[in-house]
Amino acid sequence: MKKHILKYSLHIVLALVGIITILPFAWMILSSFKSNEEISALHQTLLPKTFTLENYVSLQSNFDFLRYFANSVLIAVIVTVLVVYISCLCGFVLSKYKFRGRNLIFGFVMMTMMVPWSVTIISRYTMFMKAGLQNTYLSLILPVMVSGFGIFMMKQDISALPDELLEAARIDGANEFRIFHQIVLPMSKNSISAIAIFQFLWVWEDYLWPYLMIDSDKKQLLAVGLTMFNGRYATDYGGLFAATAISIVPVIVVYTIFQKRFVAGVAAGSVKG
Amino acid sequence: MFKKKRALQSKSEIVLRNMVVTFLVAYMAIFMVIPIVIAFAGSFHNWNPLNGTYKWIGLDNYIRMFQYPTFWVSMGNTVIFCIVVVAFRVVLGLGLAYAISSRMVKSKTFFRTIFYMPTVTPLVAVAYVWKIMYNPQFGLIDNLFGLNINWLYSSKFALPAVMAMTIWKDFGYAVILFMSGLLSIPGDYYEASGIDGANAWQTFRYITLPLLRPTMILVVITSLISYLQAYVPVMVMTKGGPGTSTFLSSYLVYDQAFVKYNFGYASAIAFFILIFTAVLTLLSFKLIGEKS
Amino acid sequence: MWRKVLGICLAMSMMLLLSACGSEETATYKGEIDTNPDKGLEVMGEHVTYDPNHLVNDGKPVELEWWLWDAPDLFGSIAEEYEKIHPNVTIHIVNNPWDGFWTKLPLALQKGKKGPTLFNVHNSYQHLLLTYMAPYDIDVKDLEQDFFTAKSHEIDGKIYYIDFGIMTGAIYYNKDMWAAAGLTEEDIPKTWEDFREVAKKLTIQENGKLIQAGFNYNGEFENLMQSISYQYGSTLFDESGTKPTITQEGQIKAVQMMLDFYDKDQVGDKDFGTDSAQSFGQGQSAMVYKWGHFYGYMNTNYPSIPYGTFEVPVVDEDPFAYDRYNGESTPGINKNASPEQLEAAQDFIRFYLANAEKQKSLCMNYSLFPANNALREDEDLLKNPAIQAVSEHISDYIWPGPMPATLGDNLKIAGQDIMYNGKSIEKTLKTAEDIIKVDLSNMDFVSSESLYHKYSQHK
C-alpha cells in the first residue's frame, strides 16, 4: 500500500515538473501561429484565436531561411564529426600512452575550458582577418574543433578500456592507428553519442562568432538569422517563435537518434573520475 | 598506476603520440595562448580595435574597474546567481534523476526527453518567451497565480526571475548527467545495503551519493564555468535593469566590449573573471572532493 | 545503426558542401560595359545637383557593397534606380541585424575594397566610423543650402555624412479614449499644466486599481527627461561641449515633474504597462511620449488603434527648445575602397542627395521631418501625424551632436534606479554624470548644442 502511494506521488511530481517544462514551450509553438497583435494581446488564450501560417510563410520571404538552415546543419555536422574524432584521438593518447608532460598538456586543455569567450574573441578576430579567413566556413570550424570538454570526457571513458584488450591487438600485429579505429572508436560509441549531442547543440546555438566572421547572406547561419527578428525598434515575436520552432527540429532529431547511447555515454565519460 | 609497462613502444605509437601532442600544443598556442596574450596586453591600453585606438594607460583599466560601482554590484550578483542556479540544478537534477531511475517509474524515456527539451531550445528564444511570461499585465505567470508583480522591473524580483528562467532552461542537462551516474552504479551495492537493512534515505546518503561524486564534480564544475560566462538571459530580459540590479559580470564584459567598445577595460574585467573562475573551480573541486 | 547514422550525416554534409560550392560559382558577377554617356535625362536637384549624362569609371564594370541594418527594399530601390542609369555599376545590398552591426561594420571597413564601400551611418557611432570615412566630394555650401541640418555635420570644413531626415518626440493619444473622456480637439494641451489635467481625465481607476493610464512614459524616461530639461534651458553639456552637465536644476525639475505624474496625479504607474508602446497598442494607455518611429510600430503591430498626435507640451510659452532631435543619416563612404569604387560611390551619393523623391519615401517610411528644404512643404509628408506634430516649431528643436550611446544608456539606468529602485534624484544623476564623464574622456566627442540658434539663452 505504502508502495502504491509512493508510486503515485512520484508520478504526480514528475508529471507536474513535466507540465512546467512543457508549458512555456507549448505556448511558444502555439503562439507561432498567432499574429503579433495577438501574442501581446491583453486577454491571452493558449490556442490561437485566429490561426495563421503567416509567420512561417514570411520566414522564407524575409530572408533565405532554408539556406541558413542548411548552412547551420552543414557546419554543425562537420564540427561535431571533427570534435568527436579529435576528442577520441586525444583522449586515447592522453589516457593510454604514458609520456612526460602528459598531465601538463591535459591540465592545460582543462584550463582552456575556463577562459571566458570575451577574453579571446577580439584578438581571434584580428588573427582570422589577417589570415584572410573571413567569410569562409573554415573560420567557423577552426576555433571550435578542439573541445576541452570532449577530450576530458573521452579520456575518462577510454582510460576504462582494459589494457589487455589493446595489448592483445598489438600482439596480433595491429598498429596503433588500426587499434584506435577498430577497437577504441567502436567501443566508445556511447560517449561519442554524448559528446555529439552536446557539441551539436553548442554549434547550433553559437551566435557572436559566426556573425562576426560571415559577411555573405549565402553563408550565414540560422542562429544569426534569429536575431534579425529583433529589430532596432521592435521585436517580431511571431517570426522569432516560428523560426525557433523550426530550428529546434534538427536538434531533437539528433537527440532522438543518439539518445539511447547518450545517457550511457555520459555515464562512461563522466563517472570514472 | 603500477601496471606492467611495455618495454618497447611501437613505431606507430610514437608517430601517433607525436602527432597528437604536436597538434594539441600548436592548436592551443594559436587559438588560446596568443589571443590571451594579446588580450592581456590590451587590458593595459585604451584599446578600441574598431577605430584603431591603442594607447598605453598602465593600470588605469584595473583601477577604473575597482572604482566602478556597477562592477561590484555585478560581481555580487554573479556569485548569488551561480550559487543559487548551480544549487537548484544539482538538487533538481539529482532528485528527478533519482525519481526517474526508480524501478517504480515506467516511461523513463518519455520523461527524460521532456526534461531535456528546454536544454535543446535556443537560449535567445527561451529568454524572449519568458520575458513575455513575466509581463505584469498579460503574462502567464501573474495570470496563473493571481499575482500582480512586475517581475523584471522590481529590484527584489528581477534577479530571481532571471535565475528561475535559467534553472528551467538547464535542469535537464543535470538530469541526464545524474541519470548516467546512477546507471553506472552496479546493482550489487544496493543489494548489499538491502541486506544490511538500510532504509531508502540511508541507502541514498551513504551509498548513492558518494558513488555519484564524479558526476557531481562534472555537473558543478561545468555549470559553474558556464554560469560565470552567462550574459544572454540578462541581455534579452532586463539589459541589467532595473538600474543595475541584474548586471552579471559577463554581461558587464559584453556591455563594455560590444556595446561601448572599451575593449581594454572589458579585457581587464574578463581577466578578473578568469582568475575568479579558476579560484572558484579549485575551491569546489576541494569541497566536493573532501566529502568522501 | 551507428554506421548508418554516420554515413547519412557524412553524405548529407558532402551534398551540402557541394551545393554551397556550386552556387558560389554561379554568383560570380561579370559586369556590363557602359558606352553611352548621353542618357537623355534631366539634371536633378536644387543646389546639390546631379547630371546623369556621363560615364562612371569610364563605363567599365565596378562593384560596390552597401551595408544597412534596415529596409533593404527601400534603400535597394535607390541603388536600382542608379544602376539603371549606369548599368556598369553594381551595388550589392547587404542587410545586417542592428544587434552587432557596429561591431562588424568597422572591422569590415578595414578590409578595403573587399569590404563595404557604402554603409548607412548612425551618428551615435560616428566616433567609431569617422577614421574610415571619405568626405563627400560635394561643395559644403551647396549641401548647407539644400539641407537645413547639414551645417551641424561639418567637421574641419568637410562633410562625411548628413541627415536625410530628423526624428523627434511627440505625444500620441488614443482618439477613442479621448472622445470617451469628453475631450475635443480644443483640449489639446500646450503646456504641461494643461496636459496634467487632460491626463487626469483620461485616467480610469477601479477600486483603487489602475485600468487605464492617462499618460505612460515607461521605457521613455531618458528621452522625455531630456526634452523637459531642454525646455527649462538646461543643456546636456557644458560650454566646452565635452563635459556632461546632467545634474542642473532643469534636469532635476524635469525628473521631479515626471515622478509627480505617477505619484501625485496618479495618471499612470511604473508597473502599469512597462513597455509604453505595447501598452498604447493594447489600448491600456491613453497618451504616450514617443519618437517618430512609433508611427511605423503602430502600423505593423496595432493597425486597428485610432490615434492622433500633438506636439510635446512645454513648461512655459517660450521654451529654450521644444525637444531634442536626432538625424537619420545618409551613407558614409569607405576611404579604403579602391579608386574605381570611390568614384562610383561619390557619384552615387550625389545622385542620392539630389534625388528628393527617394528621400521623401525614406522620410515617409521612418516618419522623419525631411532635412531637404525642397520637401519642407510636401503635402504627403505633412499628412503623416508624426511629422505634422513637429512641423510648426521645427527650428526650435535642438541637436546635441553625435552623442555616443553612453549618455542615453546611463540616463536610462538612472531612470530605472530612481523609479524602480527608489534612489534619490540628485545622487543617481550624479553617479550617471560621473560614469558618462569617464566614458567620454576616451572619445573625441564635442557637443553641437552651441550651434543651436537660441544657445545664448541656456542656463
Cα(B151)–Cα(A220) distance, integer angstroms: 36
**Which residues in chain A touch residue B96, judged by CB atoms under 8 angstroms apart?**
14, 17
Host domain of residue A204: 63-270
Sequential DSSP letters for C261-295: HHHTS-S--TTSSSSHHHHHHTT-BSEEEEETTHH
Give the Cβ contact number of residue C265 at 10 Å.
15
C164 neighbors C368 (Cβ within 8 angstroms): yes
pLDDT for position A269: 65
Q: Which helix (H) or strand (E) holds C389?
A: helix C385-391
Q: From C113, C62, C112, C58, select the one nearest C83 (Cα to Cα).
A: C62
Cα(A78)–Cα(A67) distance, integer angstroms: 17
Give the Cβ contact number of residue C28 at 10 Å.
6
pLDDT over threshold 60, residue B8? no
**Which residues in chain A touch residue B137, judged by CB atoms under 8 angstroms apart?**
42
Here the contacts of B105-110 (C-beta below 8 Å, separation 24 or greater) are B105/A7, B105/A10, B105/A11, B105/A14, B109/A259
pLDDT for position C95: 84
Same domain? C156 vs C302: no
**Which residues in chain B touch residue C423, judged by CB atoms under 8 angstroms apart?**
243
In a domain, C30, yes or no: no
- pLDDT, average across residues A138-156: 90
User: Looking at residue C136, which CATH number applies to its domain?
Assistant: 3.40.190.10
How does B77-90 read in b/e, with b if 16+ C-beta sit within 10 Å?
A: bbeebbebbbebbb
Is the minimum CB–CB distance between C455 and chain A shorter than 8 Å? no
**Which residues in chain C touch residue A215, judged by CB atoms under 8 angstroms apart?**
94, 108
Cα(C289)–Cα(C117) distance, integer angstroms: 37
In a domain, C387, yes or no: no
**What's the Rg (C-alpha) of chain C?**
25
Residue C166 main-chain phi, psi, to 5 deg:
-125, 150
In a domain, A116, yes or no: yes
Does the distance separating the beta carbons of B69 and C431 come in below 8 Å? yes
Cα(C356)–Cα(C371) distance, integer angstroms: 10
Closest CB to B51 among C127, C419, C435: C127
Query: CA B94: distance to chain centroid?
Result: 16
Here the contacts of A226-229 (C-beta below 8 Å, separation 24 or greater) are A226/B122, A226/B124, A226/B125, A227/B124, A227/C97, A227/C99, A227/C100, A228/A62, A228/A63, A228/C97
Q: Quote the pTM value.
A: 0.87
For residue B242, say if its preceding peptide bond is cis, omega within 30 degrees of 0. yes
C-alpha cell at position A158:
577510454
C420 neighbors B243 (Cβ within 8 angstroms): yes
Nearest-CA distance from A23 to chain B in Å?
Answer: 10
User: Looking at residue A111, which CATH number applies to its domain?
Assistant: 1.10.3720.10
Residues of chain B with CATH 1.10.3720.10: 68-291
- The letter for the amino acid at C309 is T
High-pLDDT (> 90) share of chain A, %? 17
**Which residues in chain B touch residue A175, judged by CB atoms under 8 angstroms apart?**
10-12
More confident residue, A232 or C145: C145
Q: Which residues on neighbouring strands pair with residue C64, listed in sequence order?
A: C91
Same domain? C172 vs C312: yes
Same domain? C281 vs C367: no
B30 by Cβ neighbours in 10 Å (0-12 / 13-18 / 19+) ranks as: middle
Does the distance separating the beta carbons of C435 and B68 come in below 8 Å? yes
pLDDT for position B291: 47
Same domain? C157 vs C184: no
Question: CATH for B68-291?
Answer: 1.10.3720.10
In a domain, A147, yes or no: yes
Sequential DSSP letters for A214-230: --SGGG--HHHHHGGGB
Q: Which residues on neighbouring strands pair with residue C134, listed in sequence order?
A: C333
Q: Is the dihedral of CA B283, B288, B105, B200 positive or negative?
A: negative
Same domain? C195 vs C258: yes
Nearest-CA distance from A118 to chain C in Å?
Answer: 14
Angstrom distances, CA of residue C198 to CA of C182, C288, C319 = 10, 13, 21
Q: What is the mean pLDDT of chain B?
A: 86
Cα(B130)–Cα(C175) distance, integer angstroms: 33
Closest CB to C107 among A129, A219, A230: A129
Q: What is the pLDDT of residues A83-133, one digit of tens each?
A: 999 999 999 999 988 888 888 998 888 888 878 777 788 788 878 888 888
Q: Which DSSP letter does residue C123 get?
A: G
C45 neighbors C73 (Cβ within 8 angstroms): no
Same domain? C315 vs C352: no
Per-residue confidence band for A272, with pLDDT thresholds at 50, 70 and 90: very low
Cα(B186)–Cα(B151) distance, integer angstroms: 46
C-alpha cell at position B185:
552504479
Residue C92 main-chain phi, psi, to 5 deg:
-90, 125
Give partners of A (≥3 CB pairs < 8 A).
Answer: B, C
Q: Which residues on neighbouring strands pair with residue C191, listed in sequence order?
A: C314
- Report the alpha-carbon angle C123-C126-C129, nearest 5: 135
Give partners of C (≥3 CB pairs < 8 A).
Answer: A, B
Sequential DSSP letters for chain B: --PPPPSS--HHHHHHHHHHHHHHHHHHIIIIIHHHHHHHHHTTEEEETTTTEEEE-TTHHHHHHHH-HHHHHHHHHHHHHHHHHHHHHHHHHHHHHHHHHSTT---HHHHHHHHHHHHHS-HHHHHHHHHHHT-TTT-HHHHHHT----GGG-TTTHHHHHHHHHHHHHHHHHHHHHHHHHHTS-HHHHHHHHHTT--HHHHIIIIIHHHTHHHHHHHHHHHHHHHHT--HHHHHHTTT-STTTT--HHHHHHIIIIIS--HHHHHHHHHHHHHHHHHHHHHHHHHHHHH-
Domains of chain A: total: 1
End-to-end CA distance of chain B: 21
More confident residue, B260 or A44: B260
**Which residues in chain B touch residue A240, judged by CB atoms under 8 angstroms apart?**
125, 128
Cα(C161)–Cα(C154) distance, integer angstroms: 9
- The letter for the amino acid at C413 is I
Same domain? C78 vs C144: yes
- pLDDT, average across residues A138-167: 89
Same domain? C144 vs C233: no
Q: Which helix (H) or strand (E) holds C353?
A: helix C339-354
Residue with cell 546567481: B81
Helix (H, G, I), strand (E, B) or coil at C191: strand
Q: What is the pLDDT of residues C21-48, one digit of tens each?
A: 444 434 445 678 888 888 889 999 999 9
Cα(C153)–Cα(C155) distance, integer angstroms: 6
Low-confidence ranges of chain C (pLDDT < 50): 1, 16-28
Cα(B267)–Cα(C434) distance, integer angstroms: 22
Same domain? C69 vs C120: yes
pLDDT for position C29: 56
**Which residues in chain A touch residue B12, judged by CB atoms under 8 angstroms apart?**
175-177
Nearest-CA distance from A10 to chain C in Å?
Answer: 34
Does the distance separating the beta carbons of C435 and B153 come in below 8 Å? no
Same domain? C257 vs C348: no
Does the distance separating the beta carbons of C282 and A42 come in below 8 Å? yes
- pLDDT, average across residues B231-244: 89
Q: Which DSSP letter does residue A183 get?
A: I
- pLDDT, average across residues A255-264: 72
C-alpha cell at position B152:
523584471
Does the distance separating the beta carbons of A123 and B39 come in below 8 Å? yes
Q: Give the total residue count for chain A.
A: 273
Does the distance separating the beta carbons of A17 and B115 come in below 8 Å? yes
Helix (H, G, I), strand (E, B) or coil at C211: strand
In a domain, A242, yes or no: yes
Cα(A104)–Cα(A110) distance, integer angstroms: 10
In a domain, C34, yes or no: no
In a domain, A40, yes or no: no
Closest CB to A244 among B105, B114, B122: B122
In a domain, A37, yes or no: no
Q: What is the pLDDT of residues B196-233, one digit of tens each?
A: 777 778 888 888 888 888 788 888 888 888 898 888 89
Chain C contact probe: residue of B51, B133, B147 with most C CBs at under 10 A: B51
Chain B contact probe: residue of A86, A95, A270, A272 with most B CBs at under 10 A: A270
Same domain? C243 vs C142: no
Give the Cβ contact number of residue B221 at 10 Å.
21
Q: Which helix (H) or strand (E) holds C310?
A: strand C307-310
C209 neighbors C421 (Cβ within 8 angstroms): no
Q: Which DSSP letter does residue C182 get?
A: T
Does the distance separating the beta carbons of C406 and B260 come in below 8 Å? yes
Asked if the ipTM is above 0.90, the reply is no
Which of B8-12, B146-150, B285-289 is the most confident on average?
A: B146-150
Give partners of B (≥3 CB pairs < 8 A).
Answer: A, C
Q: Report the relative pairing of strands C323-329 and C397-398 from DSSP bridges.
A: parallel
Host domain of residue C361: 39-162+330-381
In a domain, C377, yes or no: yes
SS3 content of chain A, % helix, strand, coil (to 5): 75, 0, 25
Cα(B127)–Cα(B233) distance, integer angstroms: 6
pLDDT for position C10: 53
